[in-house]
Structure 1
Amino acid sequence: MGFTSPGKRAAFLAGVVLMSSGAAAAQTTDYDIVIRGGRVLDGAGNPWVNADVGIKDGKIATVGTIKAKGKREIDARGRYVSPGFIDMMDQSGRVLPVNGAAENKLRQGVTTVLSGEGGTPVEASEIPAYFSKLETQGIGVNFGSYYATSQARVKVMGDVAGAPTKAQMEAMKAEVAAAMKAGVFGITSALIYPPSSFQTTADLVELAKVAGQCNGFYATHMRDESAKLVPAIEEAIEIGEKGGVKVEIYHLKNAYAPAWGTGMAKAVATIEAARKRGVDVAADMYPYPAGGTGVEITVPNWVWADGEEKGLERLKDPEIRKKLKEQLAAGSMEGWSNLVEASGGWERVVLANAHSDKYAQFHGKNFVEIGKALGLDPADAAWDIVLNAYPKRSMALYFMIDEKDIEMALRQPWTSIGSDAGAALKPGEIDDLGLPHPRSYGTFPRVIAEYVKRRPVLTLEDAVRKMTGWPAQRMGLSDRGLVRQGMKADVVVFDYETLDDVASWDNPVDYPRGIDTVIVNGRVALDKGKLEDTRAGAVLRHSCS
């Protein structure tokens, strides 16, 4: 290349100088945060790379070698850097307006939660104000929610059994439409519990059609997770296909001792078959062998068919109790999943929270032990505790899941992680559900500590993908879930060697170890294990356009 005149040559050299000085200026521009020298896991399942991560204005600006300084420098040498974890089944909707810190979530590395198994804590018309309150007060994690079909039903029909009229169904649809317009991600059902259990498949299809108009989800705690697991999955898939919605199966489990080792394989095959024919169905799960819920679930659902008040009166009647014990012994029945049978008997059902000084001495004891101590049948002991706790809800742990089935479910590429636990109102105490289950404090670190480190079920890269990139893609959170340029800066730094879930059945509120830095939307929420109450979380709204 030649130059025809000294003037042109001088102009070219001046341009080179300007370009060089511009590059130098770019290199010296400060970032808000630079995370130095970590092993970066991108969240998509790729192997880690050694890199710096630069964060600016709430987003990831650079992943690579960074010469510029950050206003805040974090040394991640010898540790892993990953996207913030996403809790696909959270229960924090009621507590965050009271205490938005969500410390037990942040200390697990959770930066985003999707709540709403039981719906929003307000009516559909009040959801915009509810979301605005969360934004005004500030929350520690990103928060999105579903709306429960039972919310619409109770508003229109009350808490009793029965089929809705055409007019009532139209009223329910209007409630769902209002909720979707307000930004919920879809509808939920909890078909194991009354009054949600009184909804038919056809009812749910009609409501799903409304959510489907907004490309929403149907997320479900299925009608049965034990003896009739496969039919329950088939019902969820049918609702998705006929309603035109994506299907999310909450806390996938084979919760049935007689089918351990066989039930999960059938469940996986059913979901796989649906996915092969184009149904957008997936599932989340928690990595524990026990579920937790109210003691009242040990009573067949017909008891509550005329509402809660009438049900409590029935539960006091000795003659009705005699009938209930016969039905317990007979196993599950239409419209009710027998969790005592599913667990393998009362000796595998453990009282977790009686909400009573009278029965607090029995926390951690199974109902066979409690019955012997009180001179009662285990069922009578359980139902006395239910009545004594009202209007609060006595809680129990149901050890009804086999570890081999957990491993099989975890290996499926379409499973993500959901804790089925809420933020704690007070740090170091049980969550808003009143259930002392270690999943409230240990779910996400446990996936790595137990199923990557202690036994080779997952690779580290896939474990992180299940908690970050995959759930973000699943929920349409296109700007989260990955450590890549332009993404929202939700980031976790953890020490693989020391990472441990710690929380146990005996000490369910112990914080995990090994997670020392958590960043939410570009702001440090946890630094060297110390909470910085930045309330940097955002309300996530699903678009209905």
Structure 2
Amino acid sequence: MTRPFALAFASLLLVGAAAPPPAAYDIVIRGGRVLDGAGNPWVTADVAIKDGRIARVGVIEGKGRQEIDASGRYVAPGFIDMLDQSGRVLPRDGSAANKLRMGVTTLIAGEGGTAVPASELAGYFSTLETQGIAVNFGTYYGAIQARVKVMGDSAGAPSEAQLSAMEDEVRTAMKAGAFGISSALIYSPASFQATADLARLAAIPGKCGGFYATHMRDESDKLLAAIDEAVAIGERSGAKVEIFHIKAAYAPLWGKLMPQAIARIEAARTRGVDIGANIYPYRAGGTGLDVTVPTHVFAKGREAAHAALRDPAVREQLKKELAAGPQADWSNLVHASGGWKNVVLANGQVEQYKRFNGQNFADIGKALGKDPADAAWDIWLAALPARASALYFMMDDKDIDLAMKQPWVSIGTDASAADSTVDPAVAGRPHPRSYGTFPRIIAEYVQARPVLTLPDAIRKMTGWPAQRLGLADRGLLRAGMRADIVVFDLAAIKDHATFEAPTAAPAGIDEVIVNGVVALAKGQPTGSRSGTVLRHTCPAV
């Protein structure tokens, strides 16, 4: 062997000997301030991910195929949205980009029910998995869906046979993987459901750790009675009770109702009722214009209500009811907001009214030369079958702060994933909660004002809702858990979405990992579809 050849051969041997070993992990997040999701203070640690799960937390010597330097930043479990509205959007657009940008990795939907009937729910879940979704998704089934299928959308008490048929619908939904049943009792025809009927339906998920989740019958002057009803349903049925977007939405009693509401819930928990709530961090709620119409108008169904609203004589009577304030069977959100000046059109849906998006109804009425109620109802009817929507400024910051501090309160957006199939020009103004909720919790309630500590804020968005939902392998940064993770810069995190610019993206949330796959990198969605459908197991039905 010649000397040059021998030297070259030796060099090759050395290169081969120095070749790096294969990566031990899929991803290693290095040197971040790790918040475990259980409320503990942060610790400096690495997080190693392999095969979709957290392999180790601590000092990681092995390399990852992908390395993320988290020095100076925080690493937490992915956020869980306890009040999502994406059930109808995800089959069309599974990207959930606005949710990912907020650090959200799991959505729990179904306030108004599932996107399909109970008999189609199993197939709907399979379709989501086949098409692919960027985040994890679970849902409740709507008690109203069962009622409408069995007896239509008018008022009236169901017969025994009808109740039995409703129970069959709930069983079907639970077998498919629903987390329980939901109600939205402020809206007709759900408002026609009796407490006893709801308790009977809730007893089905109550047999297997499922939920009765509710947008209560009233969140304004009759808030305490509504809480009592939710508690009673939980006690009778054995179901866990989840109160959607807890609020004291009644300007005349700001500062008074919320402490009493909290006391009611604490008393129920002391008695052994498994009850909690979620909240969004904004003074305004957002919903359709139909809630400005007294419930009794819908007693014969929605088509009859639409016809009635076209009668000037009916309208004059309804205006009197609006001006009269609270009523026994209707939550008057216009009165609760302090009048039409505090109700803002979010989406008029049709061309002739879109120019008023973002304006309050006192001003819209003046511009149209109409009573504000007539303006609202004209817009509502013109938009059908689409839903014209508004923002109702009903809450006080001090009440929000007090509710936020409660250990049994989690966070929900009450908003859908963005739908890229819809032209933004016709989308109107969404509520800023769609784009800002989770970063706002940290930016406003941790950083700007000492309402929450950072560990507790993270617990409310991760460990607590996962425990509540029975997601035993999510919500915490511990070995063996599913690798749903968010990396954020505490100094930079900020919600930029406002009521004037509601779709502005937040800042400071850099990386989001869903089931071990990077779904957001440097603040931008990667296009991954690593999310999965979360199914509640209910063998007892």
Is 1:399 matched with 2:393? yes
352-361 vs 78-87, which deviates more? 352-361
Offset, 1:332: 2.1
Distance of 1:464 and 1:432 partners within structure 2: 35
1:6 corresponds in structure 2 to none
Name the CA distance, whole Å, in 1 between partners of 2:152 and 2:425. Answer: 28
Hey, what does 1:326 align to over in structure 2?
A: 320
The question of 1:67 aligning with 2:61 is answered yes
Amino acid at match of 2:269: R
1:452–1:459 CA contact under 8 A, matched in 2: yes
Offset, 1:296: 1.2
How far did residue 29 of structure 1 move? 5.4
CA offsets 1:62-117 (integer angstroms, 9 cap, x no match): 10111111000000001000000000000000010111110000010000010001
| 2:360 aligns with one of 340, 360, 366 | 366
User: What's the CA shift string for 1:483-541, capped at 9, x where partnerless?
Assistant: 11110000000000010011000110011000010000000001112211111001000
Matches within 5 A, 1:376-525: 376-426=370-420, 436-525=430-519
Name 1:218's counterpart in structure 2: 212
Matches of residues 154-233 of structure 1 in structure 2 within 5 Å? 154-233=148-227
Name stretches of at least 5 consecutive residues in structure 2 with no aligned partner: 1-20
Do residues 144 (structure 1) and 143 (structure 2) align? no
Structure-1 residue corresponding to 2:532: 538
Query: In structure 2, the residue corresponding to 1:251 is in which secondary structure?
Result: coil
1:345 to 339, 354, 357: 339
- Letter of the 1:147 partner, please give it: Y
The answer as to 2:35 corresponding to 1:44 is no
Find the aligned partners of 2:212 and 2:37 in 1 and give their Cα distance: 25
Give the AA of the match of 2:379: I
Partner Cα distance (1:427, 1:103) in 2: 13
Contact 1:90 / 1:116 at 8 angstroms: preserved in 2?
yes
CA distance in 2, matches of 1:293, 1:261: 24
In structure 1, C-alpha distance between the alignment counterparts of 2:25 and 2:537, rounded to whole Å? 31
Q: CA deviation at 1:374?
A: 0.9
Distance, in Å, in 2 between the alignment partners of 1:416 and 1:444 is 11
Task: Note if 1:98 corresponds to 2:92.
Answer: yes
Partner SS state of residue 89, structure 1 = strand
Cα distance in 2 between the residues matched to 1:302 and 1:345: 21
Partners of 2:255 and 2:485 in 1: CA distance: 37
CA–CA separation in structure 1 for the residues paired with 2:493 and 2:203? 44
> Secondary structure at 2:352's aligned position in 1?
coil
* 8 Å contact from structure 1 (residues 104, 424) kept in 2: yes
CA drift at 1:306: 0.7
Give the SS at the match of 2:261: helix
- The answer to whether the Cα contact below 8 Å between 1:28 and 1:68 also exists between their aligned partners in 2 is no
- Provide the TM-score with structure 1 as the length reference: 0.94
Q: CA separation in 2, counterparts of 1:464 and 1:49?
A: 14
Q: Is the 8 A contact 2:349 2:427 kept in 1?
A: no
Q: Matched residues in 2 for 1:167 and 1:325: separation? A: 39
In the alignment, is the contact (CA less than 8 A) between 1:423 and 1:432 conserved in 2?
A: no
1:356 is aligned to 350
SS in structure 1 opposite 2:199? helix
Identity %: 65
Q: Which residue pairs with 1:78 in the alignment?
A: 72
Partner of 1:251: 245
Once structures 1 and 2 are overlaid, which stretch shifts more, 525-534 or 105-114?
525-534
> Closer, same or farther in 2 for the Cα pair 1:251/1:370, shift >3 Å?
same
* 2:210 and 2:239 in contact (8 A); partners too: yes
Q: Give the letter for the 1:228 counterpart.
A: K
Q: Secondary structure at the match of 2:91?
A: coil
Whether contact under 8 Å (1:425, 1:432) holds in the other structure is no
**Aligned partners of 1:518 and 1:435: how far apart in 2?**
27
Aligned to 2:107: 113
Distance in 2, matches of 1:203 and 1:230, equals 20
Q: How many residues get paired? A: 519
For each residue in 1:10-45, what CA deviation from the matched residue of structure 2 results, as whole angstroms up to 9, or x when unmatched?
xxxxxxxxxxxxxxxxx9851100000000000000
Q: How many angstroms apart in 1 are the aligned matches of 2:501 and 2:99? A: 17
1:7 — aligned with what? none
Structure 1's 254 and 433: CA in aligned 2 closer, same or farther, altered over 3 A? farther
Pick the aligned partner of 1:307 from 301, 308, 315.
Answer: 301
* 1:145-179 deviation digits (Å, cap 9, x = unpaired): 10000000000001111000110000000000111
> Given the alignment of the two structures, is residue 316 of structure 1 paired with residue 314 of structure 2, yes or no?
no
SS of the residue corresponding to residue 166 of structure 2 reads: helix
Cα distance in 2 for partners of 1:256, 1:530 equals 39
Query: Structure 1: how far apart are the matches of 2:89 and 2:426?
Result: 6
Report the Cα distance in structure 2 between the residues aligned to 1:97 and 1:88, rounded to whole angstroms.
20
SS at match of 1:37: strand
Post-superposition Cα deviations, 1:360-408, rounded to whole Å, max 9, x if no partner, equal 1111111110111111111111111111111111100000000000000
Mapped partners of 2:415, 2:331: distance in 1 = 22
Name the CA shift for 1:294/1:500 in 2 (closer, same or farther; >3 Å).
same
Instruction: Within 5 Å, give how 1:233-248 maps onto structure 2.
Output: 233-248=227-242
Question: How large is the RMSD of aligned CA atoms in angstroms?
Answer: 1.5
Deviation (angstroms), 1:435? 5.7
In structure 2, give the amino acid aligned to 1:50.
T
Aligned-partner Cα distance in 2 for 1:416–1:296:
28
Distance in 1 separating the partners of 2:422 and 2:304: 37
Rounded to whole Å, the distance in 1 between the matches of 2:210 and 2:318 is 39
